[in-house]
Chain A
Amino acid sequence: MGATYWWMLLGMALVTYIPRMIPLTFLDGKELPPIVSGILRNIPFAVLGALIFPAVLFVQEGNILFGIIGAGVAFFIAFLGGGVMSVVLGTIGVLAVYSLFI
Chain B
Amino acid sequence: MENNQFSTGLKAGTSIAIGYFPVALTFGLLAKTAGLSLIEATAMSIFVYAGASQYMALSLITAGVAPLLIVTSTFIVNIRHFLMTAALNEKMQPAKKWVKAIYAFWITDESFSMLATGKKGKIPTAFAFGVILIAYGSWVIFTAVGFVIGANLPQFLQAAMSIALYAMFIGLLVPSMKGNRKVVMLAGLAAILHCLLYLIGMSTGWSILLATLASSILIEMVYVRRGKTVDTMYSRKEGT
Which residues of A are interface residues toward B (Cβ below 8 A)? 1, 4-13, 15-17, 19-25, 27-29, 32, 34-35, 37-56, 59-60, 66-67, 70-71, 73-75, 77-79, 81-93, 95-96, 98-100
Contact = CB atoms under 8 A, between A and B. Distances in A.
A46 B169 contact: no
A15 B47 CA distance: 11
Contacts of B174: 75, 78-79, 87
Contacts of A13: 47-48
24 contacts: A8-B71, A15-B71, A15-B74, A16-B48, A16-B49, A16-B74, A24-B88, A24-B107, A25-B97, A39-B217, A45-B182, A48-B169, A49-B186, A50-B212, A50-B215, A52-B191, A53-B195, A59-B163, A60-B159, A74-B171, A78-B171, A84-B172, A85-B15, A99-B155
Nearest to B168: A88
Interface of B: 12, 14-15, 18-19, 35-37, 40, 43-44, 47-50, 53, 57, 61, 67-68, 70-72, 74-75, 78-90, 92, 94, 97, 100-101, 103-105, 107, 109, 112-114, 116-117, 155-157, 159-164, 166-176, 178, 182-183, 186-195, 198, 204, 207-208, 211-213, 215-217, 219-220, 223-224, 229-230, 233
Contact of B85 (A23, A34, A45, A71): A23
Contact of A21 (B40, B105, B189, B190): B105
Contacts of A60: 159, 162
A6 B47 CA distance: 11
A49 B82 CA distance: 18
A23 B67 contact: no
A43 B87 contact: yes
B108 to A, nearest CB: 9
Contact of A74 (B57, B162, B167): B167
Contact of B168 (A21, A44, A55, A87): A87
Contacts of A56: 163, 166
Nearest to B158: A99
Nearest to A94: B160
Given A1-B40, A50-B193, A55-B166, A45 B183 contact: yes
